Amino acid sequence: MDTLQFHQIDSPIGRLGLVVTPKGLAKVLFECDDIDAERDRADRPAEVPLAAQQLTEYFAGHRTSFTLPLDFRFASGFRTEVLRELARVPFGATTTYKQLAEQVGNPNAVRAVGGACAHNPLPIVVPCHRVLRADGGLGGYRGGTDAKRYLLDKEGIDV
């Protein structure tokens, strides 16, 4: 098993924990995810990883896409397919759970797509905040609806 490293950053939506492996960024944690417990599980603290730099640039308005390796070890099967498709949704654009289900070839899997988004181990970087309900409503977000609204506003999306 690869070494898990932990790093923490402060952001406009609260403290974020980053779990990094030699393969890339594996988790982005919100405060509600119990960052401290995850830090304690890590093998060691990380040097300032590329993910921290890119997230800081994103929040400062200097980055619209992430160019860092991702480690999808905390997702599997259908959820990984959904996350890989979700990673293609560009800055400033949105999609719906139904559209994502169609794009992964399973148009009846809208609820499963919602589950994949709710359990996304890489929020912000794999932008589940860009997924809206079919009626255009905000929908839920593990980091909270205020965080989702902030991220969408940052990208010029008015919901």
Q: Which of 42, 128, 131, 147 is catalytic?
A: 128
Contact between 51 and 16 under an 8 Å Cβ cutoff? The reply is no
Residue 51: alpha-carbon gap to chain centroid: 12
Q: What is the pLDDT of residue 132?
A: 95
Annotated catalytic residue 32:
no
Q: What is the pLDDT of residue 24?
A: 94
Residues of the chain with pLDDT under 70: 1, 46
Question: How many angstroms separate the Cα of 76 from the Cα of each of 26, 83, 144?
Answer: 13, 10, 24
Q: What is the pLDDT of residue 144?
A: 95
Could you read off the pLDDT of 27-36 as tens digits, one per residue?
Answer: 999 999 988 8
Q: What is the pLDDT of residue 48?
A: 76
Positive/negative CA dihedral, 64, 45, 19, 33: negative
Torsion-angle region of 52 (φ positive above 0: left; ψ -120 to 50: alpha; else: beta): alpha
Q: Which two tokens stand for residue 60?
A: 């400062």
**Residue 72 half-sphere exposure, CB side, CA atoms within 13 Å?**
16
Q: What is the pLDDT of residue 1?
A: 60
